[in-house]
Amino acid sequence: MVRRRFERGLSLTSKGVLVVAIPVTALLVGMAVFYLLQRQTNDAQTWVEHTFQVRSRIRDAMLQLANVETNLRGYLLTHRDADLKAYLSAREQLPRTIAALENLVADNSQQVTRMHRVENLLGQVERSMDSLSQAPAGQPQPRAEMEADRASLRELRDELSAAQDQEDQLLLQRTEARRAAENRLERTIVAGGIFGLFGGLVAALLFTTSV
């Protein structure tokens, strides 16, 4: 009875406006929600890709550090120019990789602090390695200095490994966040379809009762 009174109280023009407005409103609401959730999904995917980039840079840094050590040892054993050139080439790449890594983790204060420690340790290691590379052939390195070099190298590797571990944890969290965003988006698409269908049915009902 209330519905009939409501329908009788509406002019034909008003009913026509409602017939159009209901499905259009459902469409606009669905589009707005879809846009917001799509942005969340894209942001989550961007962070996942960013984490992969950081992990890749950390692996590059660890590999280059190993190359620096290996090439320096080779030069200390042979004192050949080719080995020295290989050491200097690896030595030149490592600081650039660390700098690029620091730029990538600028959004993470813990990683930025860790990269500062890495840079300080890298400076100590590089100065020691340069001193070794310039030493005369056959001159033994003092034992205390060797132990200090090994300790600095271990600490440098530990810092890079810790950075890798944190990025692994972030990857898990961000992958889960991306999945959650994708699930919300899928549910919204289904709900939007149902809402749009319901709005169409209501509009059709109003139209049929108005004629």
Report pLDDT digits (tens) over 134-156.
656 555 555 555 556 667 778 88
Given a cut of 80, whether residue 5 has pLDDT beyond it is no
Contact 7, 210 (CB under 8 A): yes
* Higher pLDDT pick, 33 / 100: 100
Q: For residues 17 and 200, is the Cβ–Cβ distance under 8 A?
A: no
d(CA 142, CA 64): 26
∠ CA(121), CA(166), CA(172), 5° rounding?
160
Mean pLDDT along residues 8-37: 66
Gap between the Cα atoms of 63 and 83, Å rounded:
17
Distance CA 6, CA 148 (A): 89
Residue-wise pLDDT for 158-170, tens only, equals: 889 999 999 999 9
Q: pLDDT tens across 67-111, in order?
A: 888 887 787 777 787 877 887 787 788 888 888 999 999 988 898
> Does residue 56 carry a pLDDT above 80?
yes
Contact between 114 and 163 (Cβ < 8 Å): yes
Rounded to 10°, the helix 143-210/109-133 angle is 150
Residue 84 in tokens: 């020295």
Both tokens assigned to 200: 């169409």
Whether the per-residue pLDDT at 20 is higher than 80: the answer is no
Write the CB contacts of 68 (distance below 8 Å, at least 6 apart in sequence): 87, 90, 91, 94, 129
pTM above 0.95, yes or no: no
CA atoms of 174 and 183, how far apart (whole Å): 14
Q: How far is the C-alpha of 153 from the C-alpha of 147, rounded, in Å?
A: 10
Q: Which has the closest alpha carbon to 23: 197, 184, 156, 150? A: 197
